[in-house]
Amino acid sequence: MPQEVVDARLGRVTRAIYEYLEKTQEDGRRAHLGASLIGKPCRRQVWYTWRWAKNIKHEGRLLQLFKTGHLAEPRFIDDLKAIGAQVVSHDENGQQFRFTAHGGHFAGSLDGVATGLPYAPKTWAVLEFKTHSHKSFLTLVSKGVKIAKPEHYSQMQIYMLEMGLDRALYLAKDKDKDEMHDEWITLDKPFAEAEKAKALAIIQADIPPAGVAAEPGAFECKFCDFKDLCFGEQVPEPTCRSCAHATPVLDRPQPDGSGTWACARWESDIPLDAQRAGCGGHRYIPIFLANVAEPQDYHNGDVVYRVRKNGKLFANGEGPAAFSSAEIHACPDKAGIPIAGELKGMFPTAKIIG
């Protein structure tokens, strides 16, 4: 249903709540690669998320749905305690249990750990709580979490490996009918180690891994936030994560345990806020422009590209007729950039603003 039709049906209070949620939503560009992502079937999607290719903003209705999922967690804990389980959801400092790996670039937070569960009363287990739509819940019950929700299964395997535990309880709820489903999961150490190695490969990759499908019409790509990056002319947002000068450092985490990024141009580490903002020295990793142009030369710090559609040249850089990465990102017709470059020659202060 078109957004304008949906909005027309909203009452004033609902609209105000949705708008508040949209305005106050957290920046979705996490500093780390999350364990909740690594089990997704498309490595390219995971890599684009890690590299902040898009700052994805959600509509109010979806944010309210996320909020409902978070509010369910205390109920899950209360239910487990009611049947005699000992549940620990936070450490001695009041923080969620958390792991970091690969120099702080791979991380995740647990819903908790518990013992006294009916499956094995003396065994400590990782807890993973999830809410599902009715359709998703039926698939989960029918096929099990490993098949129905591989990213949830992978997440639990990573948590068990990192926490030194060999069992996990997956507790799910149907949001429409309030029905519950649980599964007792055993650590598959080779699988967990392979998933952890996959995370390292994605963190270290300076070009996108192969995607899950080769055609834009594939079902897996239909609702992907990065579809236009894979198959269209869109390019990632110009943050440090999409810049050829920036590299994740694996052997020197920050004092808080988070990962370090270093800039070859400025020869310094990059604070998190600066990573999100980027700088005028941003140069796209050339493969990000592969659907539009191919690199031809490197001149005085500028990368010269040839447009595939018309053979014309343009430069990504800071030269008089070059285009900043922000301008390239803003331009809706990338093939027209060289024409705009001719105008830049006549009007040096002109900029593409979208």
Instruction: Identify whether residues 261 and 148 lie together within a single domain.
Output: no
Q: Are residues 107 and 66 in the same domain?
A: yes
2 in any annotated domain? no
Q: Please check whether residues 140 and 266 belong to one and the same domain.
A: no
Nearest-angstrom CA–CA distance, 340 and 232: 20
Mean pLDDT of 293-313: 92
Is-contact 100 32, C-beta < 8 A?
yes
Closest CA to 41 of 224, 264, 255: 224
Residue 156 is predicted with a pLDDT of 99
| Per-residue pLDDT band at 110 (split at 50, 70, 90) | very high
Residue showing tokens 């202060």: 349
| 2-6, 89-93, 190-194: the lowest-pLDDT one | 2-6
Report the pLDDT value the prediction gives residue 321, as an integer from 0 to 100. Answer: 81
Q: What is the pTM of this model?
A: 0.88
Domain count, the chain: 2
Predicted local distance difference test score (pLDDT) of residue 333: 78
- Confidence band for 35, pLDDT divided at 50, 70 and 90: very high
Radius of gyration for the alpha carbons in the chain, expressed in angstroms and rounded: 23
| Whether residue 36 has pLDDT greater than 60 | yes
- Report helix angle 189-204 to 43-50, nearest 10: 50
Nearest Cα residue to 125 out of 82, 166, 64: 166
pLDDT band at 92 (very low <50, low <70, confident <90, very high): confident
pLDDT tens digit string along 313-329? 999 998 888 899 999 99
Residue range 221-235: average pLDDT? 92
163/241 same-domain check: no
Q: Please answer whether residues 291 and 297 qualify as being in contact, where contact means their C-beta atoms are separated by less than 8 angstroms.
A: no
Nearest to 224 by CA among 55, 29, 31, 42: 42
Same domain for 45 and 174: yes
Per-residue confidence band for 345, with pLDDT thresholds at 50, 70 and 90:
low
| pLDDT of 130 higher than 90 | yes
The whole-number average pLDDT for the span 297-303 is 91
Residue 349 has pLDDT above 60, yes or no: no
Range of 277's domain?
A: 236-346
Burial 322-344 (b: 16+ CB within 10 A, else e): bbbbbbbbebeebbbbbebbeeb
Structure confidence by residue, pLDDT tens digits, 114-124? 999 999 999 99
Query: 11 pLDDT band (50/70/90 cuts)?
Result: confident
107: CATH: 3.90.320.10
Assess whether 152 and 39 both reside in one domain: yes
Place of tokens 């002109």: 350
Residue-level pLDDT at 4:
42
Token look-up 């093939």 returns 335
7 inside domain: no
* CA distance from start to end of the chain: 27
Residues 266 and 334 in one domain: yes
Q: What SS3 state is found at 161?
A: helix
The amino acid sitting at 262 is A
- Strand pairing class (313-316; 86-88): unpaired
Write the CA distances from 279 to 29, 260, 264, 274, integer angstroms: 17, 18, 13, 8
Domain boundary among 155, 184, 204: 204
> In this structure, how many other beta carbons lie within 10 angstroms of the beta carbon of residue 313?
16
pLDDT on residue 341: 58
pLDDT in tens, 50-79: 999 999 898 999 999 888 888 899 999 999
User: What average pLDDT does the chain have?
Assistant: 91
In this predicted model, what pLDDT tens digit does every residue of 171-207 receive, in sequence order? 999 999 999 999 999 999 999 999 999 999 999 999 9
Q: What percentage of residues in the chain have a pLDDT greater than 70?
A: 93
Given a contact cutoff of 8 angstroms between Cβ atoms, the answer to whether 90 and 96 are in contact is yes
Distance CA 52, CA 188 (A): 31
261 lies in some domain: yes
Is residue 332 pLDDT above 80, yes or no?
no
* Collapsed DSSP state (helix, strand, coil) of residue 290: coil
> Are residues 60 and 197 both part of a single domain?
yes
**Contact 263/240 with Cβ under 8 angstroms?**
yes
What size, in residues, is the chain? Answer: 354
Q: What is the pLDDT of residue 27?
A: 85
**Strands, sheet with 268-269, edge to edge from the N-terminal-most edge strand:** 246-249, 260-263, 268-269
Q: Quick one: tokens of 242?
A: 């999409």
Same domain? For 60 and 190 the reply is: yes
Whether residue 336 is contained in a domain is answered as yes
- Do 134 and 65 belong together in one domain? yes
Collapsed DSSP state (helix, strand, coil) of residue 313: strand
The yes-or-no verdict on residue 2 having pLDDT over 50 is: no
Q: Assess whether 247 and 162 both reside in one domain.
A: no
When pLDDT is cut at 50, 70 and 90, the band that residue 344 belongs to is: low
CB-count burial class (<10 Å; 0-12, 13-18, 19+) for 94 = exposed
Classify residue 210: in a domain, yes or no.
no
